[in-house]
């Protein structure tokens, strides 16, 4: 009789400490550990200063949100307010979040570069002065001052230079995340599987899940490990086999480099021509140019499957070889 698992969802594991985050770069962990320890030491000496603010930078899926939650837990704050830049573009919404926060609140804003200029300015004022200035009645030019609580601010961004200089420079703790190697990703997948008591027939199973994750923990866990477990569970088993992994990737249409059908179609379109303009590719794929440039192309460029010259895109020999040897 096989052991029972403690969850069926890959995200049913609560991270309460930075030390629980497998693969967190040593420099980031050390920086945050020193900052948190210093904060508590200052508190013990009756220094009422606020922790941070923190700016987490790096590509999507590399652990910024998980780290923000771990910081919140380590600070023993009671309330975590999670939002993103697009949701808080209405300054009234952002004002509401800040006014309802108390001294035990962490405000985490993901993709903060999506905040418009007015919202960024309001946030800068809140952080710098611990105050908000709101119109008094109908007199828009007469404002009243409202003090704010000692809020912990954690911002995350994939495009830091879309932030206003003043806001970016106001941050005290900078953490830069990057893509992960296969060894670190394998360790991350192993830690999560072990925490959930999801058994696996060998470490090679985990390496295969990691190798098709495009160097990001989010894909390794939320997409690859979760689907492998779903396949395993559908067969009424609790041990993930290599056959389960291969079936999972077949269902997801994920190839050996972690590409799904959309980037492969992108490569197929390029393979038909010597080069193509971005706007032409957009019309062929029925996608906005910005989506192609920001979502599809970065990994293809990083793995040297394509090359870019101005607005022209061309497939490389490596890209052609990958298409020719991929059978899905």
Does the pTM surpass 0.85? The reply is yes
| Burial class of 183 by CB neighbour count within 10 A (0 to 12, 13 to 18, 19+) | exposed
Q: In which residue ranges of the chain is CATH 1.10.10.10 found?
A: 261-325
Which run of H or E residues covers position 70?
helix 64-74
Residues of the chain within CATH 3.40.50.300 domain(s) are 24-176
Q: Please determine, for residue 137, whether its predicted confidence score (pLDDT) is greater than 80.
A: no
Where does CATH 1.10.8.60 sit in the chain? Answer: 182-252
Per-residue model confidence as pLDDT tens digits over 181-194: 999 999 999 999 99
Question: What 3-state class would DSSP assign to 40?
Answer: helix
d(CA 50, CA 65): 20
Task: Kindly tell me if the per-residue pLDDT of 152 is higher than 90.
Answer: yes
Cβ–Cβ contacts within 10 Å for residue 204, how many? 12
Q: Tens of pLDDT along 221-273?
A: 999 999 999 999 999 998 999 999 999 999 999 999 999 999 999 999 999 99
User: pLDDT tens digits, residue range 272-312?
Assistant: 998 999 999 999 999 999 899 989 999 999 999 999 988 89
Q: Answer yes or no: is pLDDT of 4 > 60.
A: no
SS3 percent helix, strand, coil of the chain, rounded to 5, is 50, 15, 35
Do the Cβ atoms of 147 and 119 come closer than 8 Å? no
pLDDT tens-place string over residues 54-80: 999 999 999 999 999 999 999 988 899
Report d(CA 266, CA 300) in Å as an integer.
10
Q: Which of 116, 43, 110 is nearest to 80 (CA)?
A: 110
Q: Which fold has domain 182-252?
A: Helicase, Ruva Protein; domain 3 (1.10.8)
pLDDT band at 5 (very low <50, low <70, confident <90, very high): low
261-325 sits in which CATH class? mainly alpha
Contact between 31 and 175 (Cβ < 8 Å): yes
Distance of alpha carbon 4 from alpha carbon 239, whole angstroms: 11
Distance, in Å, from the CA atom of 158 to the CA atom of 58, rounded to the nearest integer, reads 5
Please, are residues 266 and 296 in contact by the beta-carbon 8 Å criterion?
Answer: yes
Q: Is the pLDDT of residue 138 over 70?
A: no
Q: Is 24-176 in CATH node 3.40.50.300? A: yes
């Amino acid at each position: 009789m096989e052991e029972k698992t403690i969850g069926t969802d890959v995200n049913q594991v609560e991270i309460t400490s930075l030390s629980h985050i497998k693969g967190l770069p040593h420099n980031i962990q050390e920086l945050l550990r020193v900052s948190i320890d210093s904060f508590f030491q200052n508190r013990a000496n009756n220094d009422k200063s606020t922790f941070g603010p923190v700016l987490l930078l790096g590509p999507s899926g590399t652990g910024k949100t998980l780290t923000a939650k771990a910081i919140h837990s380590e600070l023993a704050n009671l309330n975590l307010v999670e939002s993103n830049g697009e949701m808080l573009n209405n300054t009234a919404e952002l004002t509401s979040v800040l006014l309802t926060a108390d001294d035990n609140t962490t405000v985490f804003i993901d993709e903060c570069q999506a905040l418009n200029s007015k919202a960024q300015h309001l946030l800068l004022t809140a952080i710098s002065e611990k105050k908000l200035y709101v119109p008094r009645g109908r007199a828009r030019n007469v404002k009243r001052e409202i003090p704010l609580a000692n809020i912990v601010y954690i911002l995350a961004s994939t495009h830091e230079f879309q932030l206003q200089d003043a806001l970016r420079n106001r941050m005290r703790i900078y953490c830069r995340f990057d893509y992960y190697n296969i060894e670190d990703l394998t360790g991350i997948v192993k830690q999560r599987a072990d925490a959930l008591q999801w058994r696996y027939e060998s470490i090679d199973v985990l390496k295969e899940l990691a190798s098709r994750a495009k160097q990001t923990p989010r894909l390794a866990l939320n997409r690859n490990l979760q689907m492998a477990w779903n396949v395993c569970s559908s067969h009424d088993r609790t041990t993930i086999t290599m056959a389960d992994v291969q079936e999972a990737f077949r269902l997801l249409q994920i190839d050996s480099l972690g590409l799904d059908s959309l980037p492969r179609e992108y490569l197929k379109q390029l393979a038909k021509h010597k080069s193509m303009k971005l706007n032409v590719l957009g019309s062929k794929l029925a996608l906005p140019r910005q989506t192609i440039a920001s979502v599809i192309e970065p990994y293809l460029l990083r793995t040297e499957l394509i090359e870019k010259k101005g607005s022209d895109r061309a497939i490389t020999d490596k890209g052609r070889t990958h298409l020719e040897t991929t059978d899905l």
